Amino acid sequence: MYSHILVPTDGTALSVHTVTKAVEFARTVGARITFFYADPDASASLTDDAALLQLIAPDTYRDDYSGRAREILSKAAVSAGAAGIECETVSRTSTRPHAAILAAADELGCDLIFMSSHGPRSFGGVMLGSETLKVLVGAKVPVLVSSVEKNDPAPAMNMVTSIMKDEHRSIAVVAYGLRTFARGLQENRPVDFDLLKSMLGYLRAFPSKLHHPKEEAYLFKKVQERTAELDPLIAELQRQHREGDAALHALVEAIETLGTATPDERIAFVTRLESFAGEQLKHIGMEENRIMPAAARCLLPEDWATIARAFGENGDLRFAEETRKSFRRLFSRIANLQ
**Domains of the chain, start order:** 4-151 (3.40.50.620), 155-337 (1.20.120.520)
Half-sphere exposure of 166 (CA within 13 A, CB side): 23
Contact between 25 and 17 (Cβ < 8 Å): no
In sign, the C-alpha dihedral spanning 182, 211, 17, 293 is positive
pLDDT of 41 reads: 59
Strand-pairing partners, residue 4, are 32
pLDDT of residue 126: 40
Instruction: Determine the pLDDT at residue 317.
Output: 55
Q: Are strands 112-117 and 122-123 parallel, antiparallel or unpaired?
A: unpaired
In this prediction, residue 142 carries a pLDDT of 97
Q: What is the mean pLDDT of each run of 10 residues along the chain (338 residues)?
A: 94 89 96 93 49 50 64 93 95 90 97 84 47 91 85 86 92 92 87 87 86 93 96 97 93 87 88 95 95 96 93 62 69 72
CB atoms within 10 A of CB 186: 14
User: For residue 305, how many C-alpha atoms fall within 13 Å in the half-sphere facing its CB?
Assistant: 4
Taking a C-beta distance cutoff of 8 angstroms, is the pair 82, 172 a contact? yes
Which H or E element spans position 112? strand 112-117
Contact by Cβ (8 Å): 43, 93:
no
pLDDT at 329: 73
Nearest by Cα to 35 from 6, 14, 10: 6
